[in-house]
Amino acid sequence: MSDLAAVVQSDHARATYAATGGARVTSSEVAALGEQLRVIAHDFGYPEATDDSRRIGYDRAAAEALFERMDLTTVEAAHNGVWNFLTFVVAPDLVRWRWLGSSNPERWICTDRTRHMFARLWWQALTFGQAGLGVPIDLSLLRALDESDLNQITERRAIAGNPRLAQAVARLAMSAEGATRRTVLRDLTPRLRRRLAFVDFAALTDQQIEEHLRSLKGGKT
């Protein structure tokens, strides 16, 4: 961990930028992001080994910091190089600490944004955060979900690609009585994916989405 912390940088000779549009991030802004992520990590036990609950606590806090400070568009956030820069240049020590014992290269190399150390957190904040005009994003729904809940939703792109639908699914699962959220999600998501072939949920109101989900939860397909 200390060896990785010693090579942390806020710039790289081979860093590239988009040809047009946007404002180029400065080295000092990158350094400030890395420092904020490290301060948050200290609150959850960094650099010492820690337990799952504290690692997940870090994920939730870091998701908010990444989303608020990076100020990305979804087009920018879809570029894997953005996230590879964070893991290999800005905060390799945090990746090692968070995924201590994991040999999965996808935590480092962004080939799947639902598994990458930092990409998954930013996209989780986008998917489950509720933004208000002039106020910080509300991530209370994200904080209420556990890793199993998130995997059931975010790894299904047809669902996670529509934040209103993903949030409605999460709320329905959390309100379940007499059954675990995992059971509800495992039963609901296959039914929902079948209905997505015939219904454009992006064109529906929030109320209509909830009505569809309640009918699916009731056993209809």
The predicted-structure confidence for 99-123, as pLDDT tens digits, reads as follows 998 999 999 999 999 999 999 999 9
Query: Are the C-beta atoms of 210 and 180 separated by less than 8 Å?
Result: no
Instruction: Say if residue 96's pLDDT is above 70.
Output: yes
Report yes or no on whether pTM surpasses 0.85.
yes
The whole-angstrom distance between residue 51's C-alpha and the CA centroid of its chain comes to 20
CA-based torsion, 122, 153, 51, 139: positive or negative: positive
Instruction: Say if residue 1's pLDDT is above 80.
Output: no
- Kindly state the tokens that stand for 161: 């690609």
Beta bridge partners of 132: 135
The pLDDT value recorded for residue 178 is 64
Prior bond to 163 cis, omega within 30?
no
Beta bridge partners of 135: 132
Instruction: Say if residue 220's pLDDT is above 90.
Output: no
The predicted-structure confidence for 8-30, as pLDDT tens digits, reads as follows 999 998 888 887 777 889 999 99
The single-letter DSSP state of residue 150 is H
Give backbone dihedrals phi and psi of 161, rounded to 5 degrees, phi first. -70, -10
Domain ranges of the chain: 1-139, 145-221
Map residue 156 onto helix, strand or coil. coil
- Amino acid residing at 25: V
What is the C-alpha separation between 194 and 199, in angstroms, rounded?
Answer: 9
- Kindly state the tokens that stand for 209: 């989405």
The pLDDT value recorded for residue 221 is 58
Query: Are the C-beta atoms of 67 and 118 separated by less than 8 Å?
Result: no
What is the C-alpha separation between 191 and 116, in angstroms, rounded?
Answer: 28
Place of tokens 């060896």: 3
The single-letter DSSP state of residue 89 is I
What is the C-alpha separation between 90 and 34, in angstroms, rounded?
Answer: 6
* Helix boundaries (H) for 7-91: 27-43, 52-70, 74-77, 80-85
Nearest to 144 by CA among 172, 113, 117: 172
